[in-house]
């Protein structure tokens, strides 16, 4: 039977079906566009998959379910036509292109790269195809193999020394260490008393002004206790004040650069409350639909064509006064900036937020709007402002000299803030702008407030990404994965935006700090990233880099195997309680879901008590207390899991009856108790416990806030 001749001459392969659908609109009938749906080959899941003895060669195998895709791709290759590999413009994309080419065994496959999925960009890329960059492929292979070696070998050790199912990663463990050490800083923090002290005065026009104590005898001064405050009040009395100095300073504020992966994740977390994972998922949707440029980048660069279109929009929509004489350029700070050639921007600056919202919804529209405003504002003029600082002193008391200050900022020209928003709320300077040096001010009263220093803030997605970038740990494509991985492993939890280490996370971190200092050292991890960049640039070789990392790891694991006892890791100390089974001593152990009491004679005696539930911690005005087990009618006790608290039968594991943590509040539609749930993005919401029969979700109303900037 004669084979049917293909109607196309060119096959273009991408990773994503959504990307394929968008590109297909721009290419004619001479092209067939197909998707691999991500990687087609990878390391095996159930074994190491690395040939240590032969230069750390990966033993790749076809990913489960990808056999049919590979067969379809092979069949689709045109006999006398071209194969274009159009994967993402980064190391992972280069590796996928290499994998596809090696599986298809095509001799003339070409690599095409574009930073945005637009008709012009696609056609231009196809006209000027490239060769696969072997150095980038080697760099991605090095990252994948190194992560496998570290993760696989360390995880095996964690199973032996702590418990089965734990895992560790090369970069994730360092990020976890940051979160744990911040919590340790907070716990070790000792609050110190200080006082805000000020004076309320009246000017000649009757305006009431508030000045804050700033200096004592020319040095910065903050009272540290009540006695000091009372001493100041006694010394100054009710005497009037005189203006010692008036300083007017004009300042310029430059626009912020366009978004990189890191700064987009930070802004989306700070302004929109999105996690890094959610931000990147939404950005991926916008990119594949052709609305923004590639979202994994550490470059501030913008194409000349993009800058021209942005400048045209500024001149037309905002006026020539908002348009600088020449374009603004920004220098990339990252030493290893190489993942893409442009910052994140809209592919077409004239596409509005409203269009995005109509097509996708509000979440995508909000992120697009953030990107749009940032890139338009980055090409606008500076903000110009006037800062006024007034210093006043007591008329009668010369020594010691207490200096109080008041002032604020007044915008002279909003510049880039016209688009980006006003940022910080500014003081109204009208009342103090007429004050001159030597003016008299009438004392009205002292204003004082006792305060205490606060511990360092916990990390959020935004601040952790910023810290990782500052330490040069990870790369644009890894930030979101790093955070989502340690959260999925149960090593951290989120309260509002704050990242809090769990007991399990602390145990793993302590174990790694004690036995693998090299691996969780910040400078060392940054050095490894630099070496991976060296492979990508063709300056370093794969095998020697792997040798340098792997051989010390083997020695460290062997030492820990010998020296570390499991009891030293998971036992936290003795407990006062007696074993409910044998009446003997109990010890505090750490399990995967928290602390619990275990009989000291374990495994001979399996007596235990749960500590992680702690009914005393529950607010029973908010939560229901179930009467009995739904399966056996027995008593229920509060338990804890990585998904949160729940009620379980006291006779577990004989009886596995459970009840969720129900609220006192009833569903207005079916009268069942409501329950707190978590969405796939990690946000909590309140819904009916009778789901899916009842799909009621309680609406939450946010208090109106002052407009934030996206800085």
User: What CATH number is associated with residue 448?
Assistant: 2.70.20.10
- Beta bridge partners, 391, equal 245, 405
What does the pLDDT read at residue 642? 59
Q: Quick check: 340 and 299 in contact, CB under 8 A?
A: yes
State pLDDT tens for residues 437-478. 999 999 999 999 999 999 999 999 999 999 999 999 988 888
Per-residue pLDDT, 623: 86
More confident residue, 709 or 512: 512
Same domain for 570 and 430: no
Overall average pLDDT of the 227-232 stretch: 96
In our burial notation (b when 16+ CB lie closer than 10 A, e otherwise), range 228-245 reads bbeebeeebeeeebebee
For residue 333, the domain's CATH number is: 1.10.290.10
Residues 6 or more apart from 143 whose CB is under 8 A from it? 91, 532
Specify if 277 maps to a domain.
yes
Q: Which two tokens stand for residue 594?
A: 């928290």
d(Cα 431, Cα 407) in Å, to the nearest integer? 10
pLDDT at 285: 96
26: CATH: 3.40.50.140
- Split into its structural domains, the chain has a count of 5
Does 651 fall in a domain? no
Q: Side-chain half-sphere of 538: how many Cα atoms within 13 Å?
A: 3
Domain check: are 212 and 306 in the same one?
no
Query: Is residue 118 in some structural domain?
Result: yes
pLDDT in tens, 586-607: 988 876 656 778 888 888 888 8
DSSP 540-601: S-HHHHHHHHHHHHHHHHHHHHHH--HHHHHEEEEEEEEPTTTS-EEEEEEETTEEEEEETT
Q: What is the pLDDT of residue 48?
A: 94
Mean pLDDT for the stretch of residues 15-36: 94
C-alpha–C-alpha distance, residues 264 and 97, integer Å: 27
Question: Could you say which of 404, 423, 452 is where a domain stops?
Answer: 452
pLDDT at 424 over 70: no
Range of lowest pLDDT (33-42, 78-87, 398-407, 588-597): 588-597
Helix H or strand E encompassing 375: helix 362-377
pLDDT in tens, 592-651: 656 778 888 888 888 887 665 556 556 777 888 888 898 888 888 877 665 667 888 877
Do residues 650 and 638 touch, judged by C-beta distance below 8 A? no
Query: At 426, is the pLDDT very low, low, confident or very high (cuts 50, 70, 90)?
Result: low
What is the pLDDT, as a whole number, of residue 529? 92
Question: Do residue 106 and residue 53 come from a single domain?
Answer: yes
User: Which domain covers residue 234, as residue numbers?
Assistant: 193-254+385-452
Mark whether 241 and 389 lie in a shared domain: yes
Q: 372 and 401 share a domain?
A: no
- My answer on whether 397 and 367 are in the same domain is no
Query: Percentage of the chain with pLDDT > 70?
Result: 92
Strands 82-85 and 110-111: parallel
Does residue 637 fall inside a structural domain? Answer: no
**Could you tell me how many residues make up the chain?**
711
125 and 147 in a single domain? The answer is no
Catalytic annotation, residues: 294
Residue 679 resides in a domain: no
pLDDT digits (tens, 9 = 90+) for 359-401: 999 999 999 999 999 999 999 999 999 999 999 999 999 999 9
Q: Is the pLDDT of residue 3 over 80?
A: no
Do 127 and 15 belong together in one domain?
Answer: yes
Confidence (pLDDT) at 540: 96
Residue 108 and residue 286 in contact, taking contact as beta carbons nearer than 8 Å:
no
Last residue of a domain, one of 612, 644, 675: 612
Assess whether pLDDT exceeds 80 at residue 55: yes
Of 452, 474, 497, which residue constitutes the final position of a domain?
Answer: 452
Quick one: 272 and 370 in the same domain?
Answer: yes
Q: Are residues 228 and 332 in the same domain?
A: no
Judge if 389 and 241 occupy the same domain: yes
- Rounded to 10 deg, the angle between the 479-488 and 461-470 helix axes is 120
Q: How confident is the model at residue 428 (pLDDT cuts 50, 70, 90)?
A: low
* Tokens (6 digits) for 362: 């509000």
Residue whose tokens read 């006892």: 565
Q: What is the pLDDT of residue 705?
A: 47
Q: In what order do the strands lie in the sheet with 31-35?
A: 31-35, 10-14, 82-85, 110-111
* pLDDT at residue number 711: 42
Angle value at C-alpha 685, between 683 and 690, nearest 5 degrees: 135
Give the whole-angstrom CA distance, residue 107 versus residue 129. 14
Q: Do 159 and 121 have their domain in common? A: no
């Amino acid at each position: 039977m004669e084979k049917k001749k293909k109607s196309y001459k060119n096959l273009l392969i991408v990773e994503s079906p959504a990307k394929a659908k968008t590109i297909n609109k721009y290419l004619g009938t001479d092209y067939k566009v197909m998707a691999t749906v991500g990687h087609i080959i990878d390391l095996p899941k159930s074994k190491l998959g690395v040939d240590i003895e032969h230069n750390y060669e990966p033993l790749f195998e076809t990913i489960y379910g990808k056999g049919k895709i590979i067969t379809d791709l092979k069949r689709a290759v045109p006999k006398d036509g071209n194969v274009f590999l159009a994967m993402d413009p980064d190391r992972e994309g280069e590796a996928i292109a290499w994998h596809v080419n090696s599986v298809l065994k095509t001799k003339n496959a070409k690599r095409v790269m574009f930073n945005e999925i637009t008709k012009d960009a696609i056609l231009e890329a196809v006209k000027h195809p490239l060769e696969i960059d072997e150095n980038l492929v080697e760099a991605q292979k090095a990252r994948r193999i190194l992560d496998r070696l570290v993760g696989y070998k360390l995880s095996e050790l964690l199973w032996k020394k702590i418990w089965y199912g734990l895992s560790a990663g090369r970069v994730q463990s360092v990020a976890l260490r940051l979160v744990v050490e911040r919590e340790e800083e907070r716990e070790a923090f000792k609050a110190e008393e200080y006082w805000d002290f000020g004076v309320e005065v009246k000017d000649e026009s009757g305006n009431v002004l508030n000045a804050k104590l700033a200096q004592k005898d020319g040095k910065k001064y903050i009272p540290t206790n009540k006695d000091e405050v009372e001493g100041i009040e006694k010394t100054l009395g009710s005497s009037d004040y005189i203006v010692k100095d008036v300083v007017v300073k004009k300042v310029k504020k430059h626009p912020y650069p366009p978004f990189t992966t890191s700064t987009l994740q930070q802004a989306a977390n700070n302004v929109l409350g999105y996690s890094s994972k959610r931000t990147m998922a939404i950005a991926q949707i916008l990119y594949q639909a052709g609305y923004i440029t590639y979202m994994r980048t550490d470059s501030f660069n913008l194409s000349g064509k993009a800058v021209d279109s942005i400048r045209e929009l500024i001149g037309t929509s905002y006026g020539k006064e908002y348009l600088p004489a020449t374009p603004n350029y920004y220098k990339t700070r990252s030493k290893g900036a190489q993942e893409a050639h442009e910052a994140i921007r809209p592919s077409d600056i004239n596409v509005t937020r409203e269009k995005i919202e109509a097509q996708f919804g509000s979440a995508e529209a909000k992120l697009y709007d953030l990107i749009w405003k940032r890139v338009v504002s980055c090409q606008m003029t500076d903000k110009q402002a006037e800062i006024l600082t007034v210093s006043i002193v007591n008329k009668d008391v010369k020594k010691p000299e207490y200096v109080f200050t008041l002032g604020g900022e007044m915008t002279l020209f909003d510049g880039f803030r016209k688009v980006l928003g006003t940022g910080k709320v500014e003081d109204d300077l009208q009342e103090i702008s007429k004050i001159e040096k030597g003016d008299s001010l009438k004392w009205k009263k002292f204003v004082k407030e006792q305060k205490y220093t606060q511990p360092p803030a916990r990390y959020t997605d935004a601040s952790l990404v910023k810290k990782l970038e500052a330490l040069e740990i990870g790369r644009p494509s890894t930030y979101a994965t790093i955070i989502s991985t340690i959260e999925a492993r149960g090593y951290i939890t989120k309260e509002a935006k704050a990242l809090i280490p769990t007991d399990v996370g602390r145990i793993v971190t302590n174990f790694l700090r004690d036995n693998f200092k090299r691996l969780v050292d910040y400078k060392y991890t940054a050095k490894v990233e630099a070496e991976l960049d060296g492979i990508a640039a063709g300056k370093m070789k794969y095998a020697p880099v792997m040798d340098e990392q792997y051989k010390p790891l083997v020695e460290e694991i062997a030492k820990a195997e010998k020296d570390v006892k499991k009891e030293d890791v998971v036992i936290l100390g003795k407990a006062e309680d007696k074993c409910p089974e044998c009446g003997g001593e109990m010890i505090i152990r750490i399990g995967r879901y928290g602390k619990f009491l275990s009989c000291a004679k374990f495994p001979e005696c399996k007596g235990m008590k749960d500590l992680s539930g702690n009914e005393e911690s529950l607010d029973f005005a908010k939560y229901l207390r179930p009467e009995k087990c739904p399966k056996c009618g027995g008593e229920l006790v509060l338990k804890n899991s990585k998904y949160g608290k729940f009620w379980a039968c006291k006779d577990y594991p004989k009886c596995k009856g459970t009840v969720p943590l129900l609220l006192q509040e009833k569903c207005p539609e079916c009268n069942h108790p409501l329950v707190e749930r978590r969405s796939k993005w990690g946000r909590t919401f309140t819904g009916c416990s009778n789901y899916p029969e009842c799909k009621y979700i309680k609406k939450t109303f946010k208090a109106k806030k002052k407009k934030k900037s996206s800085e």
